[in-house]
Amino acid sequence: MTAEPLSARPQALTDLMGDVGLDERGTSLWQGAFQRLRRNPSAIIGALIVLAFVLVAVFAPLIAPYEPAKSQWIDQVTPSTVPGHSAEHLLGLDPLGSDLFTQLVYGARQSLIIGIVSTAFGLAGGVILGTLAGGLGGWVDTLVMRLVDILLSIPSLLLAVSIAAMLGQRPSAIMIAIGAAQVPIFARLLRGSMLAQRNQDYVLASFSLGLRRRTIVMSHVLPNSLGPVIVQATLTLATAIIEVAALSYLGLGAPDPAVAEWGRMLVKAQDRLQSDPHLTLLPGICIAVTALGFTLLGESLREALDPKSRR
Amino acid sequence: MTSSETVSGPAPSPPPAPGSDVLLSVRGLQVHFPIKRGLVFDRTVGHVRAVDGVDLDVRRGQTYGLVGESGCGKSTFGRGLLRLEEPTGGSVIFDGQDIRSLKPEALRLMRRRMQMVFQDPLASLDPRQSVQSLLSEPLTVHGLSTADAEEFGRDSSSSHLAKAAAMLEVVGLPRGALAKYPHEFSGGQRQRIGIARAMILNPDLVIADEPVSALDVSVQAQVINLLEHLQDLLGLTYIVIAHDLAVVRHISDVIGVMYLGRLVEEAPSDDLYAQPLHPYTIALMSAIPIPDPEIEDHRERILLRGDLPSPANPPSGCRFHTRCPYRQQTRCDTEEPVLRDLGAVAPGRRVACHYAEEILAGQIAISDPSLQIDPVAG
Ligand SMILES: Nc1ncnc2c1ncn2[C@@H]1O[C@H](COP(=O)(O)OP(=O)(O)OP(=O)(O)O)[C@@H](O)[C@H]1O
Ligand code: SF4
Ligand SMILES: [Mg+2]
């Protein structure tokens, strides 16, 4: 446990450490939450969906039968029809003549990357701003929160569209845009949560014990305030995936039209909605199911972390 | 700045020197909270005078009980002493040192000597910390005291652990509790952990803010007994806050009664119970039964009517006049009574009432008979 030499009463001390280690084990908050999660069916369903999604994204090259974005079968696509199911093409071809199944599999990868990167970006920005506001208070708080209020008054999709348009057609643009739109949401959530924690007696107790303000904020207030933010991040992953689709749909996605992405697949297929509904339906279902998985997981996490659900 | 001049008693004795009999000396302490209004720019439109000029001395090794209704400023007073809430006026002299003039870093180091036990034990413990971490954190900040270092070895995480386990034993919890988290204990056990944490730094003064009022009646006595035991063991000085006279009765040496941010009466515990002098104290006492039938039959009992007035706008004159059954037309509404020594009439006691002597002598009748509790029926 420690490298320090046991100078006095080594025997008593060893007894004591042994005592602690043996059968008495505490359950920390996160351990408790995890135990509750495991007993919650919607958490299990959510986790399975998310797991499947992540596995598909990671192992896309192994799962997909072809290289993505190869339009080598364009000659089989006519203005009026795209070939459906066949032996070589499980789900048929897409309107540009590439394998639909391959596109869907690689789309998972694209969505996951964009979802995670943009949420991480939004989370990092939000945690920094929220900690500044909630931890320092005073004019820093006022300044940060005014900025956040302004950003929040703009609808997030509009904000994302403007940022994506400003950054131009770069692959990172869409991630920055979606992440930036999440920053004020995370910042406000964390600040509110920190303010609520700051009024708790344990913070007063920490001050009266002589802890430094920095220590109190960083190792007591912040960790206790993160629960709702982590829940929000899980839910945001779901919205991020939908927003990627929306931005692609609006033509603001990655410049390479060949990169498989569920949102763009929707766009490309929309004029064939009448004749080939499966072309829009399949990417649509992928988006919906993945978002559902993250939402189920986030909501169960919220429930599990709720102090009232603790016995 | 804040409010009117403080009307304080005949400022007793100069600040005590370090090592003197008086450990804590409070003079004219004020804690006012600004009331802010305004959408864009906060404007201060008034002050909540939570603590509004309190004078008292606490002697070494003694227990000072502070009682009063909810909202009268007891907790704020306790926090003001430690500057957990910044006082807006007055002075706090702790062991010869002026707490209010300390720089932040000096104050932080000083806090090892003044600790607090909180009302809600669960809220006062970080839910993410194990008991071991809760107990060793203060030691990491301040180090072991010299005496502890001798017993438990050089300052290190193992000696901190040993001290933490020893402290747990003192408060009556098994060592196995070290690995557990606050939510895994009962209310009484949590309060024991809170007490262990407050005492682990060997403080001189411990302020216990309603230490048992959140606990089951069955464990209240145990926790009070534990506090008494620790006082003897560690030579502590206590300020115990309660909203009810019954709780502080047997552990306090001196009791101060607070009303709307001020002290209205102060007396040795037994004297206060035998003969409350201030009408407010009489009313508080009326609420609790007294086992001695002699006193029970003869004491004056009155009902407390109405609510506590707002501390943002305390009544003029005597603050208690809006609820006082002895209120007189002559001075009560206009002249603020000072907390004064009654001299030969009641030695060693201080009361803030213009008519304390007359009430004691039975010369003033209760103005509204409906407030009197019939001694036979009541
Ligand atoms: N931070 C604050 N800002 C503004 N007003 C406050 C603040 N803290 C306390 N007050 C007010 O000061 C007054 C005294 O509060 P305090 O908590 O000290 O009372 P108390 O005697 O401890 O009551 P209780 O028995 O309910 O704990 C109350 O009117 C309360 O509303
Ligand atoms: S001064 Fe007057 S109002 Fe105040 S307590 Fe005494 S009798 Fe009552
Ligand atoms: Mg209180």
CB B259 within 8 A of CB B67: no
The mean pLDDT of A151-172, rounded to a whole number, is 81
Ligand nearest to the CA of B50: 1
Given the CA of residue B77, which atom of ligand 1 is nearest to it? 18
The mean pLDDT of A241-268, rounded to a whole number, is 74
pLDDT tens profile A106-116: 888 888 888 88
Kindly indicate the confidence band of residue B15, based on its pLDDT and cuts at 50, 70 and 90: low
Ligand nearest to the CA of B84: 1
Tokens of B84: 């957990």
Residues recorded for chain A: 311
Kindly indicate the confidence band of residue A230, based on its pLDDT and cuts at 50, 70 and 90: confident
A14 and chain B in contact, CB less than 8 A: no
Kindly indicate the confidence band of residue B378, based on its pLDDT and cuts at 50, 70 and 90: very low
**Among A22, A28, A206, whose Cβ lies nearest the Cβ of B181?**
A28
A223 and chain B in contact, CB less than 8 A: yes
Contact yes or no for B153 and A6 at CB 8 A:
yes
Tell me, using a 6 A CB cutoff, whether residue B260 lines ligand 1: no
CB B60 within 8 A of CB B23: yes
Q: What is the pLDDT of residue A266?
A: 78
Domain ranges of chain A: 33-64+92-309
Q: What is the pLDDT of residue B171?
A: 94
Pocket-testing residue among B304, B350, B353, B357, ligand 2, by greatest number of atoms within 8 A of Cβ: B353
Q: pLDDT at residue B38 above 80?
A: no
pLDDT tens profile B84-126: 999 999 999 999 999 999 999 999 999 999 999 999 999 999 9
Ordered alpha helix ranges (H), chain B: 74-82, 104-110, 131-142, 146-152, 157-170, 187-199, 217-234, 245-249, 269-274, 279-286, 293-298, 356-360
A33-64+92-309 placed in CATH 1.10.3720.10: yes
ipTM of this predicted structure: 0.86
**Among A24, A27, A210, whose Cβ lies nearest the Cβ of B176?**
A24
Among B128, B135, B145, B181, which would you mutate to test the A interface (most chain A Cβ atoms within 10 Å of its Cβ)? B128
**Phi and psi angles of residue B97, each rounded to the nearest 5 degrees, phi first:** -110, 135
The mean pLDDT of B10-19, rounded to a whole number, is 57
The mean pLDDT of A37-53, rounded to a whole number, is 91
Which residues in A161-179 are b (16+ Cβ under 10 Å) and which e? bebbeebeeeeebbbbbbb
Task: Count CB pairs under 8 A between chains A and B.
Answer: 130
The mean pLDDT of B260-279, rounded to a whole number, is 92
Q: What is the Cα gyration radius of chain B?
A: 22
**C-alpha–C-alpha distance, residues B368 and B303, integer Å:** 11
pLDDT tens profile B127-180: 889 999 999 999 999 988 887 888 888 878 888 999 999 999 999 999 889 989
Q: Which residues pair with B98 in a beta bridge?
A: B93
- Separation of A5 CA from ligand 1 center, angstroms? 49
The mean pLDDT of A65-92, rounded to a whole number, is 70
Q: What is the pLDDT of residue B209?
A: 95
Q: Identify the burial level of B104 via C-beta atoms within 10 angstroms of its C-beta, where 0-12 means exposed, 13-18 middle and 19 or more buried.
A: exposed
Contact yes or no for B111 and A202 at CB 8 A:
no
Contact yes or no for B108 and A210 at CB 8 A:
yes
Tell me, using a 6 A CB cutoff, whether residue B185 lines ligand 2: no
**Which amino acid, B285?**
M
In the predicted model, what is the mean pLDDT of chain B?
87
Contact yes or no for A17 and B161 at CB 8 A:
yes
